[in-house]
Structure 1
Amino acid sequence: MAAIDPSNHGLRLATRYAVLTLIAIIFIFPLVFMVMSSFKPDLQLLRDTGSFRAFLPVGDLSMNNYTAAFDRAPVATFVFNSVLVTGLTVLLCLFFCSLAAFSFVFLNWTGRNIALSIIIATLIVPFETIAIPLLLLVSKLPWIGGEGLEWGWLNSYRVQIIPWIADGLTIFLFVQYFKDLPRELIEASRVEGASWWQIYVKVVMPLSGPVLATAAILKFLVMYNQYLWPLIVVQEESYRPVMVGLQYFFQLNIAWGEVMAYLTLITVPVLAFYLVLQKAFIASIASTGVKG
């Protein structure tokens, strides 16, 4: 067997890290530009965009844009609404979609292949084609609230959450992942007398860390960036999410420094969520395994 040349191995490793570092820098540049611009007055911000100074903390830096952003719009309310709606939707979506995928993969029932095909086919249906029918539906649905029976879901959190707690892509991801799990585990659990619910909770889901993290990140990005649906169904300011709140900064006179400050503030939850899920994803891969 030929010996591995340490010098060539080191060169390949250095080249790989150099390429990855360059890609990371390219992707992080827009974030650096956004953060640096949020501390600059508008004239300086626009002047610096023509040079590398746009990525540097130089010039007249202050927190004035952040103060003005909070004065112009209820930023904290918008961020809270988006985090609440997105967080609940992600949790409910992971639960219901994983249950559906479990039934498609491990349970035998008539018509499951047809049902799965229909669910996957919904991926090619654009949201704009169902927006108006869905709006007419949710505007007439009943709800039992603090004041008793209510009609219509408009101007509420539930209208932003319930229609999105299941989707074809997430179910498809779980189905593909569950198909790769060892069938011997399921059969052994059934022989030992475990119910299907116990198998789902104690066998399948503990092994599903990677797909849970992947589906959560994808669903989080979709929900956090929701604009059209909240714009249609939410008219009260107290329920509006961050993307709808962005239009406050493009009314009358546009202050680009305030826009950058607002974008920086609403990006923080996204980065925090990604970092948490990244750690969970790595930990789940390290701990997932089947012992012989």
Structure 2
Amino acid sequence: MATINPDNRGLRLFVRYVVLVLIALIFILPLVFMVMSSFKPDRALLADTGSLRAFLPVGELNLENYREAFDRAPVALFVFNSVFVTGVTVLLSLAICSLAAFSFAFLSWRGRSLILSVVLATLIVPFETIAIPLLLIVSKLPWIGLEGIEYTWLNSYRVQIIPWIADGLTIFLFVQYFRDLPTELIEASRVEGASWFQVYTRVVMPLSGPVIATAAILKFLVMYNQYLWPLIVVQQEAYRPVMVGLQYFFQLNTAWGEIMAYLSLITIPVLAFYLVLQRAFIASIASTGVKG
């Protein structure tokens, strides 16, 4: 009977940890550089980029870049706009796309496979090809608001949210996950008299924590990093998101320290969202395993 050499096992474990640490450094070092640079004046920032000092809190450190960033642009407003638009879009997308996926996965209706194929085919259509036609549509669409009927969606939150609620990737993720769920649970629920909507809300969705977290993270990244579409449809400063606000720091003179400070500030919601979703993801897996 073959035995495992403890020395070889320890060596493999050591190599594995070294590789994981190197991979982690590849992702962490740019963030460290960004944060450290945000506390340095431009002269020191550019001088340190050729050495390890760029990743260390050394030299002239102050909060001047952050103060000047808030003076140059309404940073808090841009962050609020992006968080609001992204949060609403993610919540609506999870609800709408999961309902559509539930229909594709569990209900039998004519043309289901064809329509699902059309939905998946939209994944290969670049957004740039539909940007102008979509702009022409939303520029003339009516909207009933608090101030009455408006005949355009431009310069609003809705134009940044509604076109992005449903997408083929999110529906595909939910469909694939739903199809892997035990059909016995669905059949037992139906036998006990549960409606399809009750099956969706009380059986399927409580077991779908991992795919919800995955879809939410992917949707969050897409929406929070939106640049082209808001640049086209939003001309008023009150509705601009963080990525469009970045161009404020390239006007007249490029202030690299202020740019790093701005990037550090707009990264905070991303890290917070990831940490929350990570905990929810782990908790959902643990609860699913306990329920069995």
Give TM class, smaller chain. Answer: over 0.9
Superposition deviation, residue 25 in structure 1:
1.0
Structure 2 match to 1:97: 97
* Letter paired with 1:118: V
Structure 1 match to 2:57: 57
User: Equivalents in 2 of 1:48, 1:2: separation in Å?
Assistant: 55
Superposition deviation, residue 186 in structure 1:
0.3
User: Equivalents in 2 of 1:276, 1:127: separation in Å?
Assistant: 30
Q: Is the 8 A contact 1:207 1:289 kept in 2?
A: no
Matches within 5 A, 1:160-199: 160-199=160-199
User: Equivalents in 2 of 1:99, 1:288: separation in Å?
Assistant: 21
Superposition deviation, residue 144 in structure 1:
1.2
Structure 1 match to 2:270: 270
* Letter paired with 1:123: L
User: Equivalents in 2 of 1:263, 1:244: separation in Å?
Assistant: 12
Matches within 5 A, 1:1-292: 2-289=2-289
Residues 203-249 of structure 1: CA deviation (Å, up to 9, x unaligned): 00011011000000000000000000000100110100000000000
SS in 1 for 2:58: coil
Taking only the aligned residue pairs, the percentage that are identical comes to: 82
Residues 30-64 of structure 1: CA deviation (Å, up to 9, x unaligned): 00000000000001100100111100000000000
Instruction: Provide TM-score, normalisation by structure 1.
Output: 0.97
Gap regions ≥5 residues in structure 1:
none
Superposition deviation, residue 148 in structure 1:
1.5
User: Equivalents in 1 of 2:55, 2:7: separation in Å?
Assistant: 37
SS in 1 for 2:232: helix
* Equivalent residue pairs, number: 292
User: Equivalents in 2 of 1:26, 1:139: separation in Å?
Assistant: 43
- Quick one: structure 1 residues 27 and 108, their matched pair in 2 at CA, closer, same or farther if it must change by over 3 Å? same
SS in 2 for 1:155: coil
Superposition deviation, residue 284 in structure 1:
1.1
User: Equivalents in 1 of 2:265, 2:94: separation in Å?
Assistant: 27
- Quick one: structure 1 residues 199 and 40, their matched pair in 2 at CA, closer, same or farther if it must change by over 3 Å? same
Residues 158-195 of structure 1: CA deviation (Å, up to 9, x unaligned): 00000000100000000111110000000000000000
RMSD: 1.2
Gap regions ≥5 residues in structure 2:
none
Superposition deviation, residue 11 in structure 1:
3.0
Residues 74-128 of structure 1: CA deviation (Å, up to 9, x unaligned): 0000000000000000000000000000000100000010000000000111111
